[in-house]
Structure 1
Amino acid sequence: MTNPRTSIHKPVILLAIDTLMSTPLEVVAQTGRAPALQFLMENGQYIPNLVSSFPTMSVTIDSSLLTGTYADQHHIPGLNWFDISKKSIVNYGTGLRETYRLGWKKVATNTLNRLNNEHLSENVTTIYEDLADMGISSGSINALVYRGNNPKRLQVPRLLSAFTEFENGEWTTNATSTFSLGTFSKLRPWSFPTKVVAGNYKYIVREMKYLIKKEQLPAFTLCLFQDLDTRIHFKGPMDVKGLIKIDREIQKLLNLYPSWEDALKQNIWMVIGDNGHSATGFDYEKYIIDLRKILSHYRIARIEKPVRTKDELVLCVNQRMAYVYLLDDDMQISQITDDLKKDSRIDVIAWKDDSWVHVVSGKNQGKLRFTKGGHDVDEYSQSWTIEGNGELLDLKISEDGKIFYGDYPDALARLYGALHSHSGRFIVVNAKPGCDFKAQSTPFHLSGAAHGSLHRQETLIPLIITGTKQTPSTPRIVDMKAFILQLIHQQIEENTHVKD
């Protein structure tokens, strides 16, 4: 593998902070409680409204970030979905009760192995794979989506091996050349991760400090902080204590250089969120949407049992969005959508029919359908044919065919992506802000916050870029891969030109 420093002079470091949101970030930066983030914002470029993927769940978002595609191409539909070919629910860890009922072995194997080696589509490449093909090294620290070109033999700790389907607790995965994932792969052989699958914010920074001190930074490193998410679920979207703690650790990275300015001269630093949160209400009856009650007159598969021939529906909840799967070929989708429309808390109900996507709502009247290609063009230069009531997705269409998004940013491409992300007959439902979906054993978040939906509160995330004046072509997470590759390509070309 080529030493990255022989090809580029400024490695790219992407600090991804799960649940980082623009308003709390701006508050802690402006009030001096996050000096490192404030320094990066003031000495770089700040984009407060980068568009995330959909559903706004980490594995789908990370897959979009690394492949530069939405779910219709990378095929990771969410944290919880149904594999029609195997008649089995695929869950990557949505909560203890749901994991227990589905089976620890199944969830662990899906998360640790099948996510990267089976479910992530072979028809797309990750940024790690593209860099490896160029002879350029890359690193992944603490991220569950990590597929690269470097085979690694990983082993589950002995005490946990009984909870997996791996023979002798071992499996081979394709990862990055520099790879850290909790107890399964450590950069510092003497270290002890604070969590089994992933480390906390302090452990992660120690791994990064090790690379910087040893001058072993790859050309590109993704470092993922996961600590904020759980806290925000319980404390609400404006809680900043967790962010302040992470900032203290980022300060330690910058302090490794003679000055913070030198840190920017030697590296390109980026800080990015993955999804936002919508505050949830206090009253269970008012704010928790129990899909089992709405669809109680159908036979709904139980998650702890194999799907039976008499089962009619499968429910897979991703917090504020959910997939409703129809197992009976004779059942009409309209039967289900008519029931869902009776609940005014469900603001988007969508399904696909051939190349068309259909949308109705429990909140608004009318119908909408759209398909790719046509005379209407949105702000991301994507063309569409749209028929019906655009207000269902808060679309504004000018007389000359320009599409403008409101409450649901890039709604057409993101909704199309989710509905074409995997096989089967299913409906996507989206909850209005303040509400959370529930099915059997699904965790919900009263008096806190949740994500998953198409809404702008969970969709728009911050991005900080320092060490370069360039920005992505458009402010979307699917444009980040091309942007990072461009930065590395340019450095290689500059070095080649200097040598010539």
Structure 2
Amino acid sequence: MDNHVVSIPKPVILLNIDSLMPQPLEIAMQTGRAPALKFLMEQGRYIANMVTSFPTMSVTIDSSLLTGTYADKHHIPGLNWFDTEQNQFVNYGTGFRETFRMGMKKSIHHMLYNLNNVHLSEKVSTIYEELARIGLSSASINSFVYRGNKLQQLKIPKFLRTFTYFEDGKWTMKVPSIFSLGLFSKLRPVGFTAQLAAGNYKYMARELRYLIHKQKLPAFTFCIFQDMDARIHFKGPMDIKGIIKIDRQIQKMLNMFDSWEEAVNSNIWMIIGDNGHSATGTKYRDYIIDLRKLLNNYRIVRIQRAVHKKDELAICVNQRMAYVYMLDHVNIGTIVEKLKHDKRIDIIAWKENDCIRVESAMKEGTLYFRPNGKYVDEFNQSWWIVGNHELLDLKWIENHIVYNDFPDALARLHGALYSHPGQFLVVNAKPGCEFKAQSTPFHLSGAAHGSLHKQESIVPLIIAGTNEQPITPRIIDLKEFIFRVIQEQLHE
């Protein structure tokens, strides 16, 4: 139950700019085209190397940010995965053709209901739930991951009800104290978004400005600007026009105070990206890895029909990474050898006994690892490791592991491989390349994400209004950081 009895002097506002990356952000700030972001950076601190979750897809990343855990704990494996217990694909919206073939009703139900009520593990708590337990309110604006403590009935517009399983287009969710999600729940009494669920960047900014104007900011507000991701997919990772547009909206927020300095004195501002992008190649034949063709001598589940008893494999693509599931008595080693024929696949990983085994189509050898061993990494996690460490580009300084091309690779791979039941492979494409299966969208001459590579795994964080910072530069440490700066104010 939410109690609106406790307040703090400086509310925390976290703005998540989908696909914000360090280099284009720095260019926009240095050239004077992002004055609000530059001001906030100069007022506080800038961390250019925050490590995001894996797969580098928004629902997994937002789940990690809000729960402080990787996917092995929160159980959201990606935007597209296969539920071996229910024998069905779970797709939260990868693209119209793919979701249409899988079934619009099913995909919409997964996104609107199952994501928060069924799939997000009850064994982890969101920051909204934990703040509610100590009597503090919170807000979610524009995020599909939002589980809180307050029961609220949501309602879908009449003209869209045929696309859902909800009786009369109504369903009840547990949400934060203040909740905004496009047409389903809005804060302003007037205001319209042309988008079904999540509003565009202007709509989201207006919702947040409404809270500021009405002096209704709770202890913590989480907002997502989602528009930039679609633009970068087609324009490439160095496009900065999206940053410029969003910066104008942040300027309007800061202008609501007597001065921009007052905005920082009154609130703690955090701006973060959720994932990066890798530039993609121009030729389909050279840069698109069609997993169905690569494994064409196996019977692969077709996404538009139920699983058949003779089906052997299911494939779920998350742009530059994919899950390959063994459904029947298929030898996993044979599948690995097939995949190793394609030299554009840089990581193939799977669970073997109590270890994770890693191989590659690009490098020789095998790597085995599991948690708890004599080697300690830069995030103070210990590992048992045997084999060719170059497969994950691991370096050693004495007994200390240092990550290079694949940040926090051991914990993030472990997170994905233990995120849900089943026998499956995680495959990772080399930069420039992207996976494809049945009806999967791809992004030639643009950019894509999803993989373990540093281009998609490193995001920026700006903090203004506090001298505190996360204990390590990882998205999974943001929850503890936010909770800490809020609790410190309660004890002042």
TM-score of Structure 1 vs Structure 2, range by shorter chain? over 0.9
Q: CA deviation at 1:242?
A: 1.1
Instruction: Provide Cα deviations, 1:373-400, integer angstroms capped at 9, x if missing partner.
Output: 11000001100000000000000123x3
Paired residue secondary structure (1:385):
strand
Residue 114 of structure 1 pairs with residue 127 of structure 2: no
Show the counterpart of 1:196.
196
Is the Cα contact below 8 Å between 1:194 and 1:203 reproduced in 2? no
Alignment of 1:225-304 (within 5 A): 225-304=225-304
Is the Cα contact below 8 Å between 2:374 and 2:382 reproduced in 1? yes
Show the counterpart of 1:389.
388
Alignment of 1:73-222 (within 5 A): 73-222=73-222
Which of 399, 420, 423 is the aligned partner of 2:421?
423
Paired residue secondary structure (1:352):
strand
User: Which residue identity is paired with 1:221?
Assistant: T
Is the Cα contact below 8 Å between 2:153 and 2:173 reproduced in 1? yes
Show the counterpart of 1:360.
359
Alignment of 1:371-390 (within 5 A): 371-390=370-389
Instruction: Provide Cα deviations, 1:104-158, integer angstroms capped at 9, x if missing partner.
Output: 1000000001000000000000000000011100000000000000111001110
Is the Cα contact below 8 Å between 1:419 and 1:428 reproduced in 2? yes
User: Which residue identity is paired with 1:428?
Assistant: V
Q: CA deviation at 1:401?
A: 1.4
- Whole-Å separation in 2 of the counterparts to 1:218 and 1:158: 32
Paired residue secondary structure (2:171):
strand
User: Which residue identity is paired with 1:130?
Assistant: E
Unaligned residue ranges in structure 1 (runs of 5+): 495-500
Is the Cα contact below 8 Å between 1:347 and 1:430 reproduced in 2? yes
- Whole-Å separation in 2 of the counterparts to 1:189 and 1:107: 29
Residue 28 of structure 1 pairs with residue 9 of structure 2: no
TM-score (norm 2): 0.99
Q: CA deviation at 1:355?
A: 2.0
Which of 481, 484, 496 is the aligned partner of 2:482?
484
- Whole-Å separation in 2 of the counterparts to 1:433 and 1:478: 25
- Whole-Å separation in 1 of the counterparts to 2:66 and 2:55: 16
- Whole-Å separation in 1 of the counterparts to 2:362 and 2:199: 42
- Whole-Å separation in 2 of the counterparts to 1:242 and 1:160: 30
Q: CA deviation at 1:227?
A: 0.4
Is the Cα contact below 8 Å between 2:3 and 2:132 reproduced in 1? no
- Whole-Å separation in 2 of the counterparts to 1:24 and 1:38: 13
Q: CA deviation at 1:2?
A: 4.4
- Whole-Å separation in 2 of the counterparts to 1:168 and 1:8: 40
- Whole-Å separation in 2 of the counterparts to 1:396 and 1:209: 46
Is the Cα contact below 8 Å between 1:315 and 1:325 reproduced in 2? yes
Is the Cα contact below 8 Å between 1:236 and 1:279 reproduced in 2? yes
Q: CA deviation at 1:7?
A: 3.3
Is the Cα contact below 8 Å between 2:372 and 2:382 reproduced in 1? yes
Paired residue secondary structure (2:117):
helix
- Whole-Å separation in 2 of the counterparts to 1:253 and 1:76: 33
Q: CA deviation at 1:194?
A: 2.7
Paired residue secondary structure (1:375):
strand
User: Which residue identity is paired with 1:384?
Assistant: W
- Whole-Å separation in 1 of the counterparts to 2:469 and 2:243: 24
Show the counterpart of 1:342.
341
Show the counterpart of 2:454.
456
Paired residue secondary structure (2:491):
helix
- Whole-Å separation in 2 of the counterparts to 1:154 and 1:408: 40
Paired residue secondary structure (1:53):
coil
Q: CA deviation at 1:354?
A: 2.9
Unaligned residue ranges in structure 2 (runs of 5+): none
- Whole-Å separation in 2 of the counterparts to 1:209 and 1:243: 19
Show the counterpart of 1:307.
307
Alignment of 1:437-476 (within 5 A): 437-476=435-474
Is the Cα contact below 8 Å between 1:70 and 1:414 reproduced in 2? yes
- Whole-Å separation in 2 of the counterparts to 1:469 and 1:175: 30
* Structure 1 runs of 4+ with >3 Å offset: 1-4
Is the Cα contact below 8 Å between 2:7 and 2:218 reproduced in 1? no
Instruction: Provide Cα deviations, 1:76-118, integer angstroms capped at 9, x if missing partner.
Output: 0000000001100000000000011001100000000100000
RMSD: 0.8
- Whole-Å separation in 2 of the counterparts to 1:59 and 1:488: 25
Paired residue secondary structure (1:358):
strand
- Whole-Å separation in 1 of the counterparts to 2:342 and 2:46: 39
Instruction: Provide Cα deviations, 1:20-50, integer angstroms capped at 9, x if missing partner.
Output: 0000000000000011011111111000110
- Whole-Å separation in 1 of the counterparts to 2:305 and 2:428: 26
Is the Cα contact below 8 Å between 1:7 and 1:491 reproduced in 2? no
Paired residue secondary structure (1:14):
strand
User: Which residue identity is paired with 1:302?
Assistant: R
- Whole-Å separation in 1 of the counterparts to 2:321 and 2:288: 12
- Whole-Å separation in 2 of the counterparts to 1:36 and 1:259: 12
- Whole-Å separation in 2 of the counterparts to 1:401 and 1:425: 32
Show the counterpart of 1:53.
53
Is the Cα contact below 8 Å between 2:11 and 2:268 reproduced in 1? yes
Paired residue secondary structure (1:443):
coil
- Whole-Å separation in 1 of the counterparts to 2:353 and 2:87: 22
- Whole-Å separation in 1 of the counterparts to 2:380 and 2:255: 42
Show the counterpart of 1:326.
326
Paired residue secondary structure (1:115):
helix
Show the counterpart of 2:63.
63
- Whole-Å separation in 2 of the counterparts to 1:31 and 1:343: 42
Q: CA deviation at 1:3?
A: 4.2
User: Which residue identity is paired with 1:453?
Assistant: S
TM-score (norm 1): 0.97
Q: CA deviation at 1:332?
A: 1.5
Paired residue secondary structure (1:204):
helix
